[in-house]
Structure 1
Amino acid sequence: MADNLSFDSAYYSSWTPQTTGDEWVSPWAGAMDLRPADELILGEDTLPPTLRIPLRTDLGQTLVGLDSSTYDENASWFDVVPGILVQPLDVRHGAPAFDINSGLSVMRLHYHNDTDTSFYDFLISPLSARMNLFEHVFEGDLAVLDVDESVEEWAGTERAYVLSASGTKVRLRFPHLAAFQDSLMDVPTVLKAELVLPAEPESFDKPIPAPDRLFVLLENAEGNLSETPDEGAPIPVDGTYDATRKSYVFNLSSTVQALMKGELDGRELYLVSSRRGISVSSVVLKGTTVDDPARLTLTLGR
């Protein structure tokens, strides 16, 4: 990479990082197949499913020849190796997942000196800054996103899509809540506001799983997504999938109360997937003009 990642910076998973163009993979490596269900036999050791990428030996020689002060602190190391980008060469569909938190993922440097043959591991751990990058090829109803770059949204009256990994999110609007204000600008007390979002059965019969939970987030003044007023309320927001109702169910009592009072004017609500930046999942939700539609049920008091 041309620059290192920083824990103090925010990155979108659709971001395209700048690289130096220096390819580290050995020219003799050949094609590398992903076999996520097969153990790896290495000598007398049996390892969990692992992807091993041979790197150039001259690169290893360069690392061995660095001044020892390069390894004294992160800053001096980043001057030499700001970071690496691992990406597929083809465009076949898929999203492999790698464990980089257990300490088993490493960049291993094998070396030989006058007395020994050994190796040194550059660990990839939870302390390592890293990020996932995603690119989508949309099909079906979503194919229009690839065909026409000017299309950024469409009405979810029949179907709405929540796709993680920088895919799609659903904007929620309740345009009639302001009508509850009376002539004195008073509003009723919201005792309960239950948002029910039925899911299409097809969402649970495909290789990419449907998320077990969805989140409702509020757009803040900077345009970023943050928690709704219900996150601090006594009754949890929930948002998990209820298999008996075949729906995602939310409690939005505090949020709806604030919307009625006009306290959130100009700020949008969005529905997103759990773990949306580090995992792949998708669900198709029913819209508002179909049988068993998405709905908001209010229980009010005075």
Structure 2
Amino acid sequence: MRIIKLFSKIIFPVLVIFFVSCKKDHSVLGVDVQPGVDDLNAENIRGLAVTAQTLPYDSVASYGDNIKFIGSNNDPLFGRSDYGLYLNTNISVSNLNFGATSTLTSAEFVLAVNADEYAGNKDAALSYSIFALNDTINNRVPYYTNDTRHHDITPISISATSWSVTGDGKRVLRIKLDQNYAEKLFQDSVNLKNNEALQKTYKGYYIAASVQNNDEGVVFKADLDDVLSGLFLHYKTTSSNDTIIDFRFSFSGLTAKRYNTVKYTPIQEIKDQFADSTLGASKLYLKGMGMTRVKLYIPFLKNHSDSFKIAVNRAEIVLSLDPSNTTLGTSIYYAPPKLLLLSIDDSGRETYINDLNNSTNYTRFDGTYNATMNAYVFNIALEAQAIFSGEKPNRGFYLVVANGDLSLKTVYATQDSKILLPVRRDSYYERVVIAGSNNAQLKPVFNLNYIRFKND
């Protein structure tokens, strides 16, 4: 015991003095990460200028998912948008024959819609037209929202809105089908022998909607895979004792084809901004389904050419909603749940920024609507670092309403072009008005937090 105490009183102080007097050993990893001649200077710059302009799309790709839009809407802040729907019918039975003694009572297209998700006045009266297709909708991916060339110009049916609510609370849109056309289909057992024969003769349909009397109108989401959606033939037989029997041609299945079309007529203020970039200083108009996008430019971001390097910790773009985005009354216009920021390549096309290279960075990147701030915030730290380091030029960014699913990074816009389609535009129909740079309190800003590595 006395030996241990002696060691602690004499030897230990000597060792402490020895190690303190030693030089740093830079051969040991982690002893001194930063060179001794460098200084670390953490800096935070806020409120840097962001210039922006609203721009149009020619069209965007529409894919064959089950959720599609239908309706017509006069949005007081954005203008008119008409959503059309191409689809085909499918059967899973063979040798379909309703029998010589069966009588068709009526036929209709039925679309199951989400009663809580819509844009406009959900009780608005619309007119719907149904057209037969001249061309078969094939497996080419994708079709585009301005592609309306595949149907006969003469409608086979025109009817006003008809709604009903099912026992479990689902809301369905009913569009009456012309009786003569329905009778032909009902009695055509030759072309109802299987699904292939059906689709060869009855190639599909186009449904168009229009606002009545220039009212505000409405646009709904329809679920084409829902068992309530389909082309229904209602009939009775001599043995059914006048009980109506329903037969459903579905809009779903392996051979189901469906895509949206969009015709957009913006208000004059938006049209003017398309042509004059300075008008973006007032307000910025962003609308889903590829109707508009916003081009952003941050002058402070430049290829760094100074004598020191920086390490970006956070590069934040804050985009606040303009007060005019709020709408009153019974009409509803939701802000997009998430926006996406894309880089611009040397051909002016949209491409992924560095912060979208994996799911972890995508989470940090954000872009989700912040209801507390009433704003969208993006963190583009990796992209800013690349621009500061001279790895990428500062061409600006496109702000879009889109599905940012990273699994789509390898999807081509067309198989022939081999142009990557970074994100989908056909998943959201929401819209938002963002404050421009003339708004002193809500203008778009760029905030930068970084460390400066400087050699003295």
TM range (shorter): 0.7 to 0.9
User: Which residue, 144, 151, 158 being the options, matches 2:282?
Assistant: 158
Matches within 5 A, 1:185-200: 187-200=309-322
SS class of match (1:125): coil
Deviation at residue 201 of structure 1 after TM alignment: 2.3
The answer to whether structure 1 residue 59 and structure 2 residue 184 are counterparts is no
Alignment deviations for residues 174-233 of structure 1 (CA, whole Å, 9 cap, x no partner): 2442252336xx852222111111111221335322223211123467865443221235
Judged with a 3 Å threshold, the aligned counterparts in structure 2 of structure 1 residues 137 and 191 are, in CA distance, closer, same or farther, namely same
Give the alignment's TM-score, normalised by structure 2.
0.54
Structure 1 range deviating more: 215-224 or 284-293 = 215-224
Deviation at residue 32 of structure 1 after TM alignment: 1.6
1:245 alignment partner in structure 2: 373
Question: Does the CA-based 8 Å contact 1:229-1:254 persist in structure 2?
Answer: yes
Instruction: Please tell me the residue identity of whatever aligns with 1:254.
Output: L
Which protein is richer in strand relative to its size? 2
1:25 alignment partner in structure 2: 157
Deviation at residue 106 of structure 1 after TM alignment: 0.7
2-side partners of 1:70 and 1:258: how far apart?
Answer: 60
1:231 alignment partner in structure 2: 356
2-side partners of 1:64 and 1:274: how far apart?
Answer: 41
- Identical residues among aligned pairs (%): 23
User: Which residue, 85, 91, 94 being the options, matches 2:217?
Assistant: 94
Alignment deviations for residues 134-185 of structure 1 (CA, whole Å, 9 cap, x no partner): 223323622547xxxxx556332232111113321101222442252336xx
2:201 alignment partner in structure 1: 80
Judged with a 3 Å threshold, the aligned counterparts in structure 2 of structure 1 residues 244 and 47 are, in CA distance, closer, same or farther, namely closer
2-side partners of 1:89 and 1:288: how far apart?
Answer: 36
1:260 alignment partner in structure 2: 388
Question: Does the CA-based 8 Å contact 1:60-1:109 persist in structure 2?
Answer: yes
1:282 alignment partner in structure 2: 431
2-side partners of 1:33 and 1:289: how far apart?
Answer: 43
2:450 alignment partner in structure 1: 300
SS class of match (2:200): helix
2-side partners of 1:71 and 1:153: how far apart?
Answer: 58
Alignment deviations for residues 36-91 of structure 1 (CA, whole Å, 9 cap, x no partner): xx637xxxx787332222212332333244455655344x4332222211112446
2:265 alignment partner in structure 1: 137
2:53 alignment partner in structure 1: none
Instruction: Please tell me the residue identity of whatever aligns with 1:298.
Output: L
2-side partners of 1:242 and 1:46: how far apart?
Answer: 33
Contiguous gaps of at least 5 residues in structure 1:
146-150
2-side partners of 1:241 and 1:267: how far apart?
Answer: 25
1-side partners of 2:348 and 2:160: how far apart?
Answer: 41
Deviation at residue 33 of structure 1 after TM alignment: 3.0
SS class of match (1:239): strand
2-side partners of 1:79 and 1:255: how far apart?
Answer: 50
Question: Does the CA-based 8 Å contact 1:39-1:48 persist in structure 2?
Answer: yes
2-side partners of 1:248 and 1:77: how far apart?
Answer: 48
Instruction: Please tell me the residue identity of whatever aligns with 1:87.
Output: A
Judged with a 3 Å threshold, the aligned counterparts in structure 2 of structure 1 residues 69 and 12 are, in CA distance, closer, same or farther, namely closer
The answer to whether structure 1 residue 108 and structure 2 residue 235 are counterparts is no
User: Which residue, 335, 338, 342 being the options, matches 1:217?
Assistant: 342
SS class of match (2:231): strand
Instruction: Please tell me the residue identity of whatever aligns with 2:207.
Output: V
2:62 alignment partner in structure 1: none
Give the alignment's TM-score, normalised by structure 1.
0.78
Judged with a 3 Å threshold, the aligned counterparts in structure 2 of structure 1 residues 81 and 222 are, in CA distance, closer, same or farther, namely farther
SS class of match (1:62): helix
Deviation at residue 251 of structure 1 after TM alignment: 1.1
Aligned length: 284
Q: RCO (CA 8 Å, sep 6+): is it higher in 1 or 2?
A: 2
1:13 alignment partner in structure 2: 145
SS class of match (2:316): strand
CA RMSD of aligned residues (A): 3.3
Question: Does the CA-based 8 Å contact 2:401-2:428 persist in structure 1?
Answer: no
Question: Does the CA-based 8 Å contact 2:319-2:435 persist in structure 1?
Answer: yes
Instruction: Please tell me the residue identity of whatever aligns with 1:135.
Output: K
Instruction: Please tell me the residue identity of whatever aligns with 1:154.
Output: S
2-side partners of 1:228 and 1:17: how far apart?
Answer: 35
Deviation at residue 104 of structure 1 after TM alignment: 1.2
2-side partners of 1:8 and 1:23: how far apart?
Answer: 25
User: Which residue, 36, 43, 49 being the options, matches 2:171?
Assistant: 49
Question: Does the CA-based 8 Å contact 1:100-1:126 persist in structure 2?
Answer: no
2-side partners of 1:113 and 1:120: how far apart?
Answer: 13
Kindly name which structure, 1 or 2, has the bigger radius of gyration based on alpha carbons.
2
1-side partners of 2:152 and 2:205: how far apart?
Answer: 10
Question: Does the CA-based 8 Å contact 1:161-1:168 persist in structure 2?
Answer: yes
Deviation at residue 249 of structure 1 after TM alignment: 0.5
2-side partners of 1:71 and 1:257: how far apart?
Answer: 63
